[in-house]
Chains A and B, each alone.
Chain A
Amino acid sequence: MMIPKYEAEQVLARALSCGGDFAEIYVEHTKENQLSYVNHQVDKLYDNMVSGASVRVFDGLRCVSASTSDLSLSGLLSCAARAAEVLGQGKAPVEIHLREQIPGDIHPIRVVPAGARISDKLDLVREAYEAAKADSQEISQVSAELLDFDHRILVANSEGLFTQDRQIRTRLVVNAVASAGGENQLGSCSPGRRSGLEMFEEISPGQVGRKAARQAVTMLHAGYCPAGQMTVAIENGFGGVIFHEACGHSLEAESVAAGLSQFGGKLGQKIANEKVTAIDDGTIPNAWGSINIDDEGTPARKNVLIENGILKSYLVDKLNGRRMGLDSTASSRRQSYTFPTTSRMTNTYIAEGNDDNKEIIASIEDGLYCREMGGGSVNPVTGAFNFAVREGYRIRNGKICEPLRGASLIGTGSEILQNIDMVGKNLEMGQGMCGASSGSIPTNVGQPLVRVSRITVGGR
């Protein structure tokens, strides 16, 4: 146990000693490891133990927080005092009684990576590295990285909650560079799971390396994507980043409660094409964005965000829930104790539709097929988003033709949600790190193949 129950009770009582109606303490111990392999040698071996605590006090709609890396009882009490003092002085002493709640573990782990030998991890990255190198003579450089996190959290609050979770995550990241004629192109592949090293029984490191290499080589021989408005087909897996950016962020209560979302006040209204049903589900066993409890201690759940185009739910944390008069949807997440927690996504995807994947491609006379998407960003206020197309192809007369590089997609969320007019049947997830005010957190994006009838393609 990171801190005993009686210490948490003292800290919470101190936090409420000057006013406020709710207090919470979040404690974490996170072991982070990263092994990078470049130029046939270990390039980086990162090994860190993050530990600290954050105390929050709510006073109506106001929130005061303090954090510290000092986990001694005196350090925690002084942290609570810094938060409390802001609220003023004088109030009857508060007594806190905590009851331990043990959440069910829906993400069993077999091989804890933090306990594995470095040499075993090295074998995995080397396999991925060598496979990428050997794939083509044009591959000039490869970097392979194994990242693992053993994140233990404890959450206690003045409502009596005292709960803990251990979140183990593993990810393999391979980047390959293909070079010819003074030009470089990049390919990458980076699968991750909320599981231990047993993830490599399902995913072969060699295949990850080859996939990255093939993408780099394909792009090296691609021409530049033309600019303009087009019909676009976006493939499954990481293609789901389109929904994540164009819509997901604007459904986070952090934006909605502050009056900063394009979808504010639209519950029950049609905001998307009726083909679109979108879900955020933190309970998918061992998925990259899954949780047992969120960072406020609420048990994970599956939330239907959009059903046949109708907005059904936002992603809500406790504080913004108060501001909006809504209950938490178990969506409160933070990178670590140093970031204030807020509403975020877990595994967010567009559900499978009824359109045949072949028909989707066949329906496009002249357009763009995005096999692999890169990252992107959005302004939740305007809904204006952008994302990079990592591997694109021209579609001519219903057939996927030559590869294209350097494309990006831009538009606004409300517009693209209406323009997703065909949804296929091959749902798959892709892994990403999502950055926002509460830090960088692991999230899955996902979708089947979809068609967007019209979108601006940035190219040249």
Chain B
Amino acid sequence: MGQKFSEIKKMCAEAAAAAGVKEYELYYTASDSAEIEMQGESVKHLDSSQRSGLCLRVLENGRCGYASTQLFEQEHLEELFIRAKENAAYGLEEPEGHFYTPKAGLSTAERAQEWSSSLPEMIRNGQQLQKEMKSSDRRITDGIRSSLGEESGSRAIFNTNGLDVQEYYHYGITLAMSVMEEEGKMDDDFAYCLGNFADIDMKKLAAEAVEKCGAKMSSGEVVSGKYPVIIEGETFGALLQAYFEIFSGEAAQKGMTLLAGKEGQQIASEIVTITDDPLSGHSVMPCSFDSEGVPARKKHVVEHGRLQTLLHNRGTAWKAGTANTGNAGRAGYASNISVQPYTFYLEPGGKTGEELFAEAGQGIYVTGVTGLHAGANSVTGDFSIQSEGFLIENGRKARAVKNFTIAGNFFDLLKNITDLGDTLKLGMPRGRTRFGSPDVRVQELSVAGKD
């Protein structure tokens, strides 16, 4: 796994002495991954990657300076300390003038690697997936693809105040991408599965990808207007992800969220409880400590519609004079410390799928949205996003529809949730974060389709 962190720590100690730096922190990540992409029944692309990166933070006169690198020779590390020291002159004040000092007895979630796959095994599984998709529907084209990937890695934090922790992760992901063509019309969709390739029912995964694509092939249009809407769980999770910043203590201090100062107030319908869990069984990267080394914990962010807390790291909690929630995060090894969630989800309610549809009567079941990075704005809460799904007619899921938008404001949407499904559905993991929700029924949203 690249250069050993223990060696780098030693070299950095020398570099720190040379630069006259007394208090510093090292954040080191290393990963090893393999991925294959199948087209037809052969491997179209195979990639194997090994990488590591180091972020140094130094403290000079109570201010923090960052510098990062992927070059680990002594001369580079010495230069790294000099860069970080220069940057510290312009850096933010560190809470209490120091980096985190750990309390005794932090236990780390060292999840042992339970399985490992060989390349021939991955290829065999990929071939099976391709065959299953190809044979399951006559409309399937040669454009179908499957990919299988496995990654293991670690993150470690060391500081001169006694922090020295390391945690490992390992996961596998299998993706099936189906493509269909009929009468000059094409469409695609995908399904994925996490975990050991050997345990995955490839037939079922292929069937899911094909079924989703098949529904779209017969999609019709929607007439513009206001409709009762049920948003499918994974799709609502995608909205939560797009709007995550509204729950960030960092965004609040920058005036970038309308939830700033609303702790204790009703911000959502009474049935809404939103939880953030660092050690969720659904996570591919469970965390017992955050990116500053602070122990991570499970908490309700919203409980029965009331905002309990925004998410904080040491810096934002210190500024706000509130408790740190242990949510320091980094987008990559080199990123500045920010606020990030772990497994962040809306707790399920009690309604079965049939009950939700029956109570909606007429409306639209939204099962997918695209372009959230452009169509959803977390500063204003406004959204207008391209969607697909099904009509709801006479209390039942009816024909598929696509190429329409749903529009509204996320803050209003949270208040207008009238019912929740009983099954939590989670989206694709991205690093340590994963978003989820049950199916969510809302009174009414604006839909733009045909005239």
Contacts and interface: CB of A to CB of B under 8 A. Distances in A.
A217 to B, nearest CB: 13
Contacts of A153: none
Nearest to B451: A229
B87 A460 contact: no
Closest 9 CB pairs of A and B: A458-B405, A460-B446, A227-B448, A141-B255, A386-B386, A375-B374, A48-B334, A386-B371, A69-B51
A458 B254 contact: no
B70 A45 contact: no
B215 interface: no
Bin the interface of chain B by size.
Answer: 35 or more
Interface of A: 32, 35, 38-39, 41-52, 61-71, 79, 82-83, 86, 118, 122, 140-141, 143, 177, 179, 182-186, 225, 227-229, 258-260, 262, 338, 340, 374-377, 379, 381-382, 384-388, 405-408, 410-412, 456-460
Interface in B307-343: 334-336
A66 B48 contact: yes
B87 A118 contact: yes
A85 B51 CA distance: 19
B50 A68 contact: yes
B440 interface: no
Contact of B374 (A186, A387, A460): A387
B407 A227 contact: yes
A69 B386 contact: no
Interface in B36-80: 39, 42-53, 65-71, 76
B449 interface: yes
Interface string B136-161: 00000111010000000000000000
Interface stretch (B107-115, B293-301, B375-383): B375-383
Given A377-B371, A379-B370, 13 more contacts: A46-B334, A51-B70, A63-B46, A66-B49, A86-B48, A227-B407, A340-B45, A385-B371, A408-B371, A408-B385, A411-B403, A459-B405, A460-B408
Contact of B42 (A44, A62, A407): A62
Given A49-B69, A227-B407, A408-B384, A67 B51 contact: yes
A227 B405 contact: yes
Given A177-B256, A388-B375, A456-B449, A83 B48 contact: yes
Contacts of B384: 225, 388, 406-408, 458-460
A335 to B, nearest CB: 12
B373 A375 contact: yes
Interface of chain A: mostly helix, strand, loop or mixed: strand
Contacts, number: 228
Contact of A260 (B188, B406, B408): B188
Given A47-B87, A376-B374, A406-B382, A381 B186 contact: yes
A384 B49 contact: no
Contact of A42 (B92, B334, B447): B92
Contact of B71 (A51, A143, A374, A375): A51
B179 interface: yes
A406 to B, nearest CB: 5
B47 A340 contact: yes
